[in-house]
Chains A and B, each alone.
Chain A
Amino acid sequence: EDQVTQSPEALRLQEGESSSLNCSYTVSGLRGLFWYRQDPGKGPEFLFTLYSAGEEKEKERLKATLTKKESFLHITAPKPEDSATYLCAVQAMRAGNQFYFGTGTSLTVIP
């Protein structure tokens, strides 16, 4: 069964304090792993796609990495505006282009 687990559930950081969010997954044939950001009361916003182990993507203070079992979202010197829930999703190699989401990590960055 395809499964996505994110940890920690919640994370509080001081501004400038770097950390990492984890997404571990089991899927029968990975088509891609996706990271989204979700602000309160809004829909998720696409951040990154990773397709193969060893791949890395960067955007401002965020860097996503992928292994065969998990992905990390590294946040370097976060700012309060990085506060959001970060969602991980996997897409399996099956018909329908469907995604399976984790429950997210709620990040709070304190000034």
Chain B
Amino acid sequence: NAGVTQTPKFQVLKTGQSMTLQCAQDMNHEYMSWYRQDPGMGLRLIHYSVGAGITDQGEVPNGYNVSRSTTEDFPLRLLSAAPSQTSVYFCASSTPLTPNYGYTFGSGTRLTVV
């Protein structure tokens, strides 16, 4: 079982460049989310999806876009990278059908914007 797979693991971008962080899960989970983790700030929600075709904004959505065309994939797009977007990005999935409702997290993408 692969769980939640994120690619790439590391990325360096120049200010103004765009890119897509990939996230795929093979657990047939309905819910998927993107978080960023910064020192002293904890995990902050960027965007989330409760099912294919449905997305919504989280706490810090500016500068990011998402789409959910399939249950398995939930890519995060950085439109025009800024140094403030330097962070570690985590994708997570969950389902209300399991008793614990816990997230399964990917291993993260460490992004540096220079």
Contact = CB atoms under 8 A, between A and B. Distances in A.
Interface residues of A, number: 25
A82 to B, nearest CB: 19
Given A42-B108, A97-B94, A91 B101 contact: yes
Nearest to A91: B101
Q: Which has the most chain A C-beta neighbours within 10 Å: B4, B44, B94, B102?
A: B102
B56 A46 contact: no
B71 interface: no
A98 interface: yes
Contact of B50 (A97, A101, A103): A97
Select the residue from A4, A98, A104 with max chain B CB neighbours within 10 A.
Answer: A98
B90 interface: yes
Interface in B63-110: 90, 92, 94, 96, 99-108
A104 B40 CA distance: 9
B96 A97 contact: yes
Nearest to B50: A96
Contacts of B61: none
Contact of B100 (A44, A45, A49, A95): A49
Given A46-B103, A97-B101, 16 more contacts: A32-B101, A41-B107, A41-B108, A42-B108, A43-B4, A43-B90, A43-B107, A44-B43, A44-B90, A44-B103, A45-B105, A96-B50, A97-B96, A98-B58, A99-B33, A101-B44
19 contacts: A31-B101, A41-B108, A42-B108, A43-B4, A43-B92, A43-B106, A46-B100, A46-B102, A49-B100, A89-B43, A91-B101, A95-B50, A96-B50, A97-B31, A97-B48, A97-B96, A97-B101, A99-B103, A100-B45
Interface of A: 4, 31-32, 34, 36, 41-46, 49, 87, 89, 91, 95-104
Interface of B: 4, 31, 33, 35, 40-45, 48, 50, 56, 58, 90, 92, 94, 96, 99-108
